[in-house]
Structure 1
Amino acid sequence: MNKSRKTSAVLFACIFVILGMWMMLSVYCQAAETNKDEKQPQTIRVGSFEDTFNYVGKNGVRQGYGYELMQALAGYTGWKFEYVKCDWSNCFDKLENGEIDIMGDISYTDERAQKMLFPEEPMGEEKYILYADLSNLDIGTYDFKFMDGKRVGVLMDTEPEIMLTEWENKNGIHTEHVNVNNDDDVEKKLANHEIDCFVSLEESLWSEQGISSVTTIGKSGIYFAINKERSDIKTELDYAMRQLEQDSPFFKADLYKKYFTLAYNQSLTGEEKLWLEEHGSIRIGFLNNDPAIFSMDEETGKLNGMLAEYISYAKDCLGNQRLKFGIQEYDDYNEMLRALQDHEIDMIFYVGRNPDLAEKKGYTLTNTAWTYSLMAVTDEKYFNENEAYSVAVVKEHEALKQHIAFSYPHWKLIDCDSLADATDMVLHQKADCFLMGTSQALKYDNNRDFKSIPLTKTMEACFAVRGGEGTLLSILNKTLKTMPSDMLTSTLAIYDSTADKVTFYDFVKDNMLAFFATAGFFGLSIIAIILVFLRKARKAEAAAKLAANDTQNV
């Protein structure tokens, strides 16, 4: 019996062990099958030209228009990348024989479409710029005849050369085309005086060679090109590009601004230098009612404000010419505008971006000099800037009026003498709001039931020049292009936050209830303390008299 039980126990143990091993193997096989079925990130071999589209910088960081775009698309495809260095002499061969799977910055042609795949949408648009030395006086921008006989560096047998030829034919120009393979080749041939000018993408490095952009000769859509046998890559890429466009409609536009519209060193053309030599100093008119724009330290005589900062930077910002400026202050905007039209000044510092008003008044706007974020100070319970409101504006603040008239045409402007008057107008329901810069408006939050509401439409400040003064307009725009990004915007924030100092009277006026409550509390406290001391003094005096009487009785 015991022997039978032992046999059964051993049998059950064996069965249990076998079942356990079978279960473990089943789980392992299922896991392996599941992992096998899961889509593994595939590695895509990318052709890298080491140019603006895909390159490794001096600090070892890979960047470029095409690189960042590909990384964004990989968020949808899950791709990983292997970068294969190539250039125009072998990139197409490597793509066709499968050494690389994809490359960017390729123009579409029917001939290429027979040998490679193109996505449905372009990866972007590229402009081809003609660069040349514009420092000579005989070189202008209206007539391109100076290009006759020049040696132009261009990548031969490509779309840029076709565009160059078409541009030359259009302008009746004949040049000698010299083949250049890449940026390094361009720099070498420039240094050896083998070329006088060249065609390239919109980049900043050429100004360091004393070269400036002459004109745009053409532009075209550019694509990713895919190995003919990798239709799977095309399918995934088409999907990813559609999703990116839907999720981030301006992604490619922002990338273009980042890599191709860079702030580069500006230089004057011969025509512009001649204008300055004949004209002399650029005369600037400005209104003297805003210390953030212009003020003078009475003790030191030092000029402060944005106008002083602009002149200090602009006078030396163009490498081949020092600019001279003269300033003239005005109390009245219309008087300053008449002075502009009468040639007493050359430009106004500053006006709001309002093209309609500029056309009616006969002046032209420069590029945006700075931007100004505004807030509406109001006691309205609900405030929606898309609705109609009456806004109190200091009557001398013409640029602000111009901005409101253009950006908020449904608002009604009400003139006032000062910000204090604007405040009273809102308090007494004569206006719904008034506008201030962000740095100043916050002090009104929760003060007298005021609140500050950020506006979505930023004010753009420009310089104004007479209509038809194209040369001066170009010079001023070059000073703004070479200026560090947001320099004047940051400068305004600094001066604007310190220009309006709060006096004791302003503090009392803005905090009337709290001030008198606090003053009353301290007054009553002092009176109470005095009464306590008087009471103690009287008790002491009574005690002293009592003690004196007791002494006399003794």
Structure 2
Amino acid sequence: MVKSNQHVIEIAVRISIAFLALLIMLFFTPPQTSFGEVKSNPERKIVRVGYYLYDGYQEADKNGTYSGYGYDYLQEISQFAGWDYTFIIATFQECVQMLERGDVDIVGGLDKNALKSDKIIYSHLSNRVSETELYTTMNNMNLNFDDFSKMNGISVGILKNDYQELYLNEYAKQNHITLHKKYYDSLKDMERALEQGEIQAILTSAETNKKYSKVIGKMDEHPLYYGINKKNQSLMDELNKSMQNIKNSNPSYDMQIQNKYFIKGKMAAPSFTVEELRYIKKKGTVKVAYDQGWQPIEYYDEKTGDIKGVTKDLFDLLSKYTGLKFEFVRAGDLSEALEDVKTGKADMISLVSHDYNISEQRGIYTSSICINASLVGVLAKDRNFDGIKQIAMPKDYYLDILKNYKVKEYDTVEDCFEAVNSGEADATIANAYAANYYLANPKFVNLIRQDLIGYSEDLSLGVSKNEDIELLNILNKGLHCISDMELSNIILSNYVVYEQPKFRKLYYSNPIFFLGSIIVLVAAVMGILIYIILLKNKMYATNMKMIEFLNIEKSRMENTLRNEAERDSLTGLFNRRKIESEVKEFLLKISVDNQISLQDTNVPSHDLHSFMIMDLDGFKSINDHYGHPEGDALLRRISVELELAAGQDNLVGRLGGDEFVFLFKNITGKSESAHLAKKIHKVIRQIAQEDEKWKAISVSIGVTLFGYETYSFKELYQRADQALYQAKKTGKNKVVFYGEL
């Protein structure tokens, strides 16, 4: 017993000694890591940034919140470099001067070839490219895009010491024109000179220009870099290392934030040349051949007698953005549609594969890519695509991948699916949109899709080579105006699932078993058959009602989803996103209409429009005293009356809280706008008398008027918001126009 206890004590002592030794080792061993270099100094370096404001590139709101392409890039750099920033907002020239003096540490967006400063060193990698353009007023019908004969000899406004002057010199030299340059201290001075006729155009960047939508010339793009004072080489080393790390870890980072802030982010009116404007005016209607059986891309609707699908919605947008009208020429299949273009029955074909060699053979020009879709193989469930040799494809349908297979041609996409389903062909290849549509049909239940990794289909518009090249240019400019969101909405809205009753799906999945079961059942229950026959009509009617109910329910759900995306959940009015989209489209429309009007009549449009922001006075006190449910009830009541006051042809929406926005189109002038604002005041006064709790509310309204010299939504909002702020500041319950500030 004693020996046993001694043995236990010896083991405990050994364990204690080992544990103590481990603690000593951990205490005296310096910490190490294999995950990368860790700085011994926990303090992050403070870097001073010269921050000049450019829409999309470097922005700052009134609350001191920074955003933009350049800001995001700096934040990404900080993650690798361990920097924190102090932002010093100044003009571009002031930022460069501060950098040369060493008052700031870094400035982005510098052209090292144009700036030529011996006090600045530049990053190895660029972080964006310049977009410098020549702008003029919309009512200047004498100047149009790249019309060099009219542009020669005009006076152009340039900011003093602006390195972009170098781009203008290159542009003039390349196009053999002479431009008379006049220098100004600020962009406002240049704009004032342009409006007064002292100059015919101004030179500025696409981001800086906020007022003019008519572009008459685009300079070549130039890479722009980060600049650091020459004496601070160590900071430059950290910057270069961080930018290289960004490139190595995420090669597409530049494009990701480019898409976020610049690519199709704002809809600008297309800049048409004189020849293009003449073409739009002369041509009027463009005939478009299309394949009637290519669901859901394009197809003929037997019920309405019209074209439906992605193609139709795409051309509706092109018509809006270009002023062209389109007439669709129905073709039985792709081959016939191509023949219609070849023979002159149509001016163009709707959507074809984007391949220059094939387009050359077909006698057509291809536009920019409209749609990119993944390719899938469709085959029987018991097959694997690796062993496929023969492919069923529509006649004249081109895909690069088809060169690897023996192709058997059919008239339509559906015919190809039928061939695979019957075993006549091994497989077919289609884009994912078409494949998903047909595979949802129960008669193809024995077919499956296999993704063809690395293969996709680019679809473009095809213009006959017998047609003027201006048509291709106009279409490309129109396509550039279509945002990614608009294109996605078109595709999603046409993604229709083929619906059929479930018993048909069972039939197509195993017809022999299904028919055999029916025969056995009929033989066993002959007596019940009579009863079934008597109830046949009633059952059929019930089934049809069920299908009708399901279709109605599906339509209701689609409408609900659409409303949730576009409508404010509390009031049912348009939400901020929808209002902004509608206003942008309206601004684009009046800009295009004005260009065409100038060519027709030589007189600019004099239409006037009113943009208002309305804010309730005293609303916060209602929430504070009676609770948010009471405030919500008031907002719902007000929204009903505001929608009636706005009318069908105008827009009203809720931006959030107690702030509402209006767009009144085609008004006669300031007096009508004032009358409309008084009408809104009257509505609020009447509502305030309906409930004792609401009696203290009133309304302040900020108004800005605009015409053919279109603005962005952001500008209109800022102008109206400034007027609203003045209305609130000077006593509330009043209307203030932006021009009165």
Residue 91 of structure 1 aligns with an amino acid whose one-letter code is C
Give the direction of change, closer, same or farther, for the CA distance of 1:381–1:306 in structure 2 (3 Å limit): closer
Matched, 1:326 2:327: yes
- What residue is the counterpart of 2:126 in the other structure? 122
In 1: Cα distance, 2:119 partner to 2:252 partner: 31
- What residue is the counterpart of 1:239 in the other structure? 241
Q: Residues 330-374 of structure 1: CA distance to partner in whole angstroms, max 9, x if unpaired?
A: 225444334324433211112121211001122101112223333
For residue 426 of structure 2, the aligned residue among 426, 431, 437 is 431
In 2: Cα distance, 1:202 partner to 1:388 partner: 52
Answer whether contact 1:364 1:465 (CA < 8 A) is retained: yes
Displacement of 1:235 in angstroms is 1.2
Give the direction of change, closer, same or farther, for the CA distance of 1:156–1:260 in structure 2 (3 Å limit): farther
- What residue is the counterpart of 2:407 in the other structure? 413
> What are the within-5 Å matches in structure 2 for residues 358-507 of structure 1?
358-378=359-379, 379=381, 383=385, 389-395=389-395, 398=396, 401-402=397-398, 404=399, 406-416=400-410, 419=414, 422=417, 424-425=419-420, 428=423, 430-435=425-430, 437-438=432-433, 439-440=436-437, 443=440, 448=446, 450-453=448-451, 455-467=453-465, 469-485=468-484, 487-498=486-497, 500-502=498-500, 507=505
Displacement of 1:266 in angstroms is 1.7
TM-score by length of 1: 0.75
In 1: Cα distance, 2:115 partner to 2:518 partner: 91
Residue 431 of structure 1 aligns with an amino acid whose one-letter code is D
Displacement of 1:260 in angstroms is 4.3
Answer whether contact 1:416 1:422 (CA < 8 A) is retained: no
Which stretch has the larger CA shift, 482-491 or 101-110? 482-491
- What residue is the counterpart of 1:44 in the other structure? 47
Residue 215 of structure 1 aligns with an amino acid whose one-letter code is G
- Unmatched segments (≥5 aa) in structure 2: 1-26, 32-37, 529-741
Displacement of 1:236 in angstroms is 0.9
- What residue is the counterpart of 1:287 in the other structure? 291
Which stretch has the larger CA shift, 436-445 or 486-495? 436-445
In 1: Cα distance, 2:141 partner to 2:437 partner: 48
In 1: Cα distance, 2:98 partner to 2:275 partner: 48
SS, match of residue 338 in structure 2 = helix
Matched, 1:162 2:166: yes
Answer whether contact 2:293 2:300 (CA < 8 A) is retained: no
In 2: Cα distance, 1:168 partner to 1:128 partner: 13
Displacement of 1:161 in angstroms is 0.6
Q: Residues 221-248 of structure 1: CA distance to partner in whole angstroms, max 9, x if unpaired?
A: 2111112332221111111111111122
Give the direction of change, closer, same or farther, for the CA distance of 1:392–1:509 in structure 2 (3 Å limit): farther
For residue 228 of structure 1, the aligned residue among 224, 227, 230 is 230
Which stretch has the larger CA shift, 48-57 or 257-266? 257-266
Give the direction of change, closer, same or farther, for the CA distance of 1:491–1:227 in structure 2 (3 Å limit): same
- Identity across the alignment (%): 20
Residue 410 of structure 1 aligns with an amino acid whose one-letter code is N
Answer whether contact 2:48 2:104 (CA < 8 A) is retained: yes
Matched, 1:316 2:320: yes
In 2: Cα distance, 1:460 partner to 1:447 partner: 28
SS, match of residue 490 in structure 2 = helix
Give the direction of change, closer, same or farther, for the CA distance of 1:415–1:518 in structure 2 (3 Å limit): same
In 1: Cα distance, 2:284 partner to 2:275 partner: 14
Residue 44 of structure 1 aligns with an amino acid whose one-letter code is V
In 2: Cα distance, 1:205 partner to 1:89 partner: 17
Residue 413 of structure 1 aligns with an amino acid whose one-letter code is V
SS, match of residue 349 in structure 1 = strand
Answer whether contact 1:204 1:264 (CA < 8 A) is retained: no
Answer whether contact 1:297 1:304 (CA < 8 A) is retained: no
In 1: Cα distance, 2:504 partner to 2:191 partner: 63
In 1: Cα distance, 2:326 partner to 2:447 partner: 46
Greater relative contact order, per chain length (Cα 8 Å cut-off, separation 6+) = 1
Give the direction of change, closer, same or farther, for the CA distance of 1:202–1:381 in structure 2 (3 Å limit): farther
Which stretch has the larger CA shift, 504-513 or 228-237? 504-513
Displacement of 1:73 in angstroms is 1.5
In 1: Cα distance, 2:420 partner to 2:341 partner: 34
Displacement of 1:83 in angstroms is 0.6
Matched, 1:72 2:76: yes
Give the direction of change, closer, same or farther, for the CA distance of 1:166–1:469 in structure 2 (3 Å limit): same
Displacement of 1:97 in angstroms is 3.1
Which protein has the larger Cα radius of gyration, Structure 1 or Structure 2? 1
SS, match of residue 369 in structure 2 = coil
Displacement of 1:419 in angstroms is 3.4
Aligned residues: 484
Give the direction of change, closer, same or farther, for the CA distance of 1:161–1:205 in structure 2 (3 Å limit): closer
Answer whether contact 1:391 1:411 (CA < 8 A) is retained: yes
TM-score by length of 2: 0.57
Displacement of 1:211 in angstroms is 1.4
- What residue is the counterpart of 1:516 in the other structure? 514
Residue 415 of structure 1 aligns with an amino acid whose one-letter code is E
Q: Residues 31-67 of structure 1: CA distance to partner in whole angstroms, max 9, x if unpaired?
A: 9xxx994331111111101114312257864222222
Give the direction of change, closer, same or farther, for the CA distance of 1:420–1:333 in structure 2 (3 Å limit): closer
In 2: Cα distance, 1:295 partner to 1:432 partner: 26
Residue 225 of structure 1 aligns with an amino acid whose one-letter code is G
Q: Residues 96-151 of structure 1: CA distance to partner in whole angstroms, max 9, x if unpaired?
A: 33321111111215985531222222223324233345776654556412112322
Answer whether contact 1:88 1:181 (CA < 8 A) is retained: no
Answer whether contact 2:124 2:240 (CA < 8 A) is retained: yes
Q: CA RMSD in A?
A: 3.9
